[in-house]
Structures are given as structure tokens and as C-alpha cells.
Amino acid sequence: MRAVQFDMVDPAFPASLVELPEPELPGPAWARVEVGVGGICGSDLHLFAHNTGPSPTLMGMSGSFPFVLGHETAGRVIEAGPDCPVAVGTRVAVDPCIPCAPRGIDPPCENCARGWTSSCLNLDSRIVSGGRSLGFTAGLGGGWAEQALAHTSMLHAVPDVVPDRGASLYEPVSIACHGLLRAPPRNGDPVLVVGAGIIGLAGLAALKGLFPDCPVTVVARHPHQAAAAAECGADHVVESEAAGAHFEALARISGARVVGRKANVMLMGGFPYVIEAVGAPLSVTEALRAVAHRGTVLLLGAAGVSEVDLTPIWYKEAALVGSIDHTVDAGSAPGLAGGPGRHSVDRALAILAAGLLPDRAVVTHEFALEQYREAVETAIDRRNAHAIKVVFRLGAGQG
């Protein structure tokens, strides 16, 4: 099968399109998925852009080198083991995480036993796979490949109304759903989303699905992102300005006032709930400075080692909450995907089925696998390419 792997063979570009043997199913509860669409995630771009990424403490968990890229994966089951109940031909979204159950670890770790599979303590065990998830391992394929292997617990049926073109959007929306249920906003409270890339827009969609009475303000860096946020249903869209000038607009929307000088401004008052959806030092600082006293800032932007202003945490007695990946969330929310005990991927698919993150607004570029270099360069160049979500389209008969 063809796959794009991160191998650093070419000094000018660290990934290569290679021909790999078809991987064998690791066990009877696994399935083979013909990939129809694979998304390019911001965490993938850290590998190519050398920008701010996760802490170096996580690098030792990567496990495999070289590894097949792509963890936003949707397609169709073409082979199922005898203990996999998902029928051949089923359209599926793949939860890329590989916790204890897919690895056959029994008894499971303490966190998996609690149902916290996104916090599995054995992601670096190298059992079945050297990587913590699809997209960062070898021998299991991935979203930037013609095939991916997945355990039955990783497979989620895609509703018929979700088009193939937008099927990989489940992954960022699932990230947002799990994060929101880690520390939910009160339904009806105003929410600010800092960033209008795909994570910010996924956060907007998740809010509209889970907490429909929350008015949502989105801060967008680029005009095309602002237009997408408006099309996705944001109640207010504010374009960021140099030296924090847009804080005046945020103050008007939230009923707060601006304190401080020049670039060092903060809202006195502010938004009870803020989603940070970029991960850059300036956006984390902005989220903290915009939150209301005793409010919550949810980090979805995968911030790493950086210098940020932590003053608002103690001055405003604000809570800073982290979240990663996908899992079954015991909590509930009042909206259409809010029932208790649902997996975040299934919540995300319900939100996509309701049209709350339309692919026409956010899937801005599609590429064939052999165009992988152009695809990555397009995803990095958001300003000039007007990119939001860049995807690979594979397989036959994709709609």
C-alpha cells in the first residue's frame, strides 16, 4: 500500500511517499479500513514547520521511527476479524488512540479501568504498536495511507448524511466535545473561542451541539477564518488586531471593561468560559486575560513550552483545564449530542450529521496522496492559501 511516512530521508522535506507491505490484522477483534479521507492536523504540522509544539517530555512516547502519518481517518471497512462485529462495507471514523483494550492489556491500567482511555498509562508500552496512536506509529497504516488497521473499540459508524468529504472532521470535533465535558460551561453562559482555525471552529460546532444556549464569540486572525466562523453559526466574530485593540470589541460584547496599556490589556469582567484553540503563547495569554473572574479557560490548542502571562489565573481566580484526545465522557450536556456515557467520537458524528460544521465552510483544500508536499505546504501557509482544513482524498467512489 502507498503511505506517507515521516522518515527524514530527504533533507529538504522530512516525509516520503513510500510503498509498504499490507499490514496484517494484529488480532481477531481488529479490522482493515480502506481510507477515504485523511485530514492534516496542526499537530502534524509541528513536524514540518518547526513551530511551537508539545513538550519534549512527550517525544519519548513516539516509539516508532519512521512512522506513518495521519490520525484523522475515515473510510470503509474492507476486512474484519472474527471477533470484530463491524460489518465489511461499513463507513467508519477511527478513534486513533491505542489504549489498553486494543493492545490486549488485561487487567487494564488504572485510568482505562476508570474509563479514562484518553489518559491511558500504557500508551508508551509498545505492545501491538510502538506509537501512542495511529498517525505516529508503524505497522498499522494511518490517515495518510491507503489503509489503516483499527481495533473494534476504535471504530465508529459514520451517519449516512455525513459526506465522505467532511468525514474526517469528526476528529477535531471529538477533541472539542471531550474537552467541553471535562469542565462544562453553564448552558447559557457566554463563551469566547480564541482562534478560528479548525480547532476553534470545531469548538464552536461542539458548543452549538452540546450547549445550544451559550452565545459564542470567536476571535479570528484572518478574514477567511472570520467568514468561516460566521457561516458555522458564531454569534459574534471579532478579528484580532495588533497590540490587543480588539479587546475593546470583546469588552463591549461581554459587558466588561479594558484595563492595562498598549499590548498588555486585560478584561475586567470578561467571559465566564474561554476556549483556547491555537496553542501559541500569545493566544494562551489572550485567553487568560479575557476570562471572567472565577471563570474557566479550556486548553484545546495543545500548547507546549512557552512564555505566557499567568497573572489572570491567580488574580481572577480562574481555572485552567487541559484535555487530550477522545474517550467516553460520563457527563452530559443539554444539547443534541449531550447524552451521558457517550463516546466523544459519536458525539462529534452527531454534530456533523446536524450540519453544525459544514464541510463547504471548513474543508478548503483536497489533495491526492502523491501531492503530499503541496498539501503540507498549503496547510502551513494559512494566510496566503486561505487554508482551514486540508485533507487527502483516497479510495474510489468518494462523494
> What does the pLDDT average to over 239-243?
88
For residue 179, give the nearest of 150, 211, 147 by alpha carbon: 211
At residue 62 the predicted structure's pLDDT band, cuts being 50, 70 and 90, is: low
pLDDT tens, residue by residue, 178-236: 999 999 999 999 999 999 999 999 999 999 999 999 999 999 999 999 999 999 999 99
Question: Per the structure block, which three cell numbers stand in for 243?
Answer: 497590540
Cell 465522557: give the residue.
329
**Per-residue confidence (pLDDT) for residue 137, from 0 to 100:** 93
Q: Which domains does the chain have, with CATH numbers?
A: 2-157+358-393 (3.90.180.10), 172-336 (3.40.50.720)
pLDDT at 151 over 90: yes
Per-residue pLDDT band for 51 (boundaries 50, 70, 90) equals low
Model's pTM, two decimal places?
0.95
Which pLDDT value is given to residue 303? 80
* Number of other CB atoms surrounding residue 255 within 10 Å: 12
> Are the C-beta atoms of 117 and 1 separated by less than 8 Å?
no
Report the distance separating Cα 23 and Cα 28, nearest Å: 14
Q: What value does the mean pLDDT of the chain take?
A: 93
What ranges in the chain are assigned the alpha helix state H? 42-49, 100-103, 110-113, 170-182, 198-210, 223-231, 247-254, 281-290, 311-315, 344-353, 359-362, 372-380, 382-385
Q: ∠339-32-34 over CA atoms, to 5°?
A: 90
Backbone angles phi, psi at 267, to 5 degrees: -85, 130
What are 95-139's pLDDT values in tens digits?
Answer: 999 999 999 999 999 999 999 999 999 999 999 998 899 999 999
Residue 78 carries which DSSP code?
E
> What pLDDT does 347 receive?
98
Q: Give residue 385's pLDDT band: very low, low, confident or very high (50, 70, 90).
A: confident
> Exposed, middle or buried, 7 (CB in 10 Å: 0-12/13-18/19+)?
middle
271 neighbors 190 (Cβ within 8 angstroms): yes
Distance CA 399, CA 182 (A): 35
Query: With bands split at pLDDT 50, 70 and 90, how would you rate the model's confidence at 397?
Result: very low
Residue 327 reports pLDDT greater than 60: yes
The SS3 call for residue 246 is coil
